[in-house]
Amino acid sequence: MTREERYEHGMKVLEQVDGEAGQRIVNSLADTSPELGHQVVAWAFGDMYARPELPPRDRQLVTLGVLAALGGCEIELEVHINAALNVGLAPTEIAEALLHSAVYCGIPRSINATLVAKKVFAERGLLPITNVA
C-alpha cells in the first residue's frame, strides 16, 4: 500500500464514522501540521479503527471512556459523540456511558463530557434524550 492508498482507506473509514466533524478537524490541521492530519486519517482510522476485531459501536464506548477520563478534550468528544450516534449508540446509552465513567474518573469529568453530549444532542434535535437515536 502506498502512503496515498493508506490515506484514502482511512478517509473512507473516517467518513463513515465521524462524517463532516472529523473532516473539519483534519482540514484545520492542514496549514500547521499536515502530517498530524495524515496520521489521524491513515493511522488512527485506516490502521486502527478499521480493524475488525471490535465493531464501531464497541470502539466508541471505549473512546467515550478514554476521552471523558482525559478531560480537556471537548473538541474531540464532540466529534466522538457524533460518531457514537452515527454507529448506533442511542442518546440514553451515551449518557449512561458518561454517567458510568463518573464512578472511575469522578463527577467533574463526567459532567464536562455530559455537557458536550447535551450540545451534540441539541444540534441533532435529540433532547430530551430518549433511547432511540
Please tell me whether residue 21 binds its own copies under the rule CB under 8 A.
no
Amino acid at 128: P
Contact residue for its own copies among 4, 53, 125, 132 (CB under 8 A): 53
Please tell me whether residue 125 binds its own copies under the rule CB under 8 A.
no
Cα–Cα distance, 38 to 78 (Å, whole number): 20
With DSSP H G I counted as helix, E B as strand and the rest as coil, what are the percentages for the chain, rounded to 5?
A: 75, 0, 25
Q: Name the minimum Å distance from CB 62 to its own copies.
A: 4
Contact residue for its own copies among 24, 111, 123, 124 (CB under 8 A): 111
Cα–Cα distance, 121 to 26 (Å, whole number): 23
Q: Which stretch binds its own copies (CB under 8 A): 7-15, 16-24, 92-100?
A: 92-100
Looking up cell 463513515 gives 16
Q: Provide φ and ψ at 125, rounded to 5°.
A: 65, 35
Binding site for its own copies (CB under 8 A): 1-2, 25, 28-33, 35-36, 39-40, 43-44, 47-49, 51, 53-54, 58-59, 61-73, 75-76, 92-93, 95-112, 114-115, 117-118, 121, 127-129, 131
